[in-house]
């Protein structure tokens, strides 16, 4: 376990950073004159997206599910979860307070998912991204 942690220490650091950013809450500035709530909120989302992209590249390079995100469709948006631990049969997902902050009914603020299910979700997302990037290239 120790070697595994050392192996993915850079990913773990990024995960900690992303969770820290996600926990930032600017509700106290909501409706306050000069509080710049929307600016702060947009800035938070941008930083989250940058960190998630970096994590995706790192996780793909190391061929691991650690640091990958899972999306579950909810109403007009989706709930976003970050994989923070990978075990032999399951993964632990942590809720990210991203954009309109939806939560999955099964996972809430965080929980365990079967490894196979998480793999299928991540693989499906990657394939979809690949497909859309190909379409974008074809349109250029």
| Positions of E strands within 19-136 | 69-74, 77-86, 90-95, 110-114
In the set 59, 66, 83, 95, which binds other proteins (CB under 8 A)?
95
**What value does the CA radius of gyration of the chain take, rounded to a whole number of Å?**
16
Judged by CB under 8 A, the stretch of 5-13, 43-51, 111-119, 130-138 that binds other proteins is 111-119
When asked if residue 71 is in the footprint of other proteins (CB under 8 A), the reply is: no
Any bridge partners for residue 124, and if so which?
none
For other proteins, what does the binding mask look like between residues 29 and 68, x meaning CB under 8 A?
----------------------------------------
**Considering beta carbons, is residue 66 or 97 the nearer one to other proteins?**
97
Residues 6+ apart with CB under 8 A from 71: 78, 79, 80, 81, 121, 125
Residues near other proteins, by CB under 8 A: 23, 90, 95, 106-114, 116-117
């Amino acid at each position: 376990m120790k070697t595994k942690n050392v192996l993915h220490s850079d990913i773990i650091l990024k995960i900690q950073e992303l969770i820290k950013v996600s926990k930032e809450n600017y509700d106290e500035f909501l409706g306050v004159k000069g509080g710049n709530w929307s600016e702060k909120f947009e800035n938070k989302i941008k930083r989250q997206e940058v960190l998630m992209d970096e994590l995706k590249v790192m996780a793909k390079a190391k061929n691991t599910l650690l640091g990958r995100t899972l999306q579950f469709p909810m109403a007009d948006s989706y709930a976003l979860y970050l994989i923070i631990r990978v075990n032999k049969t399951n993964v632990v997902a942590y809720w990210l307070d991203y954009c309109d902050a939806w939560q999955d009914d099964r996972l809430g603020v965080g929980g365990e998912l079967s490894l196979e299910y998480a793999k299928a979700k991540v693989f499906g997302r990657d394939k979809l991204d690949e497909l859309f990037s190909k379409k974008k290239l074809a349109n250029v």
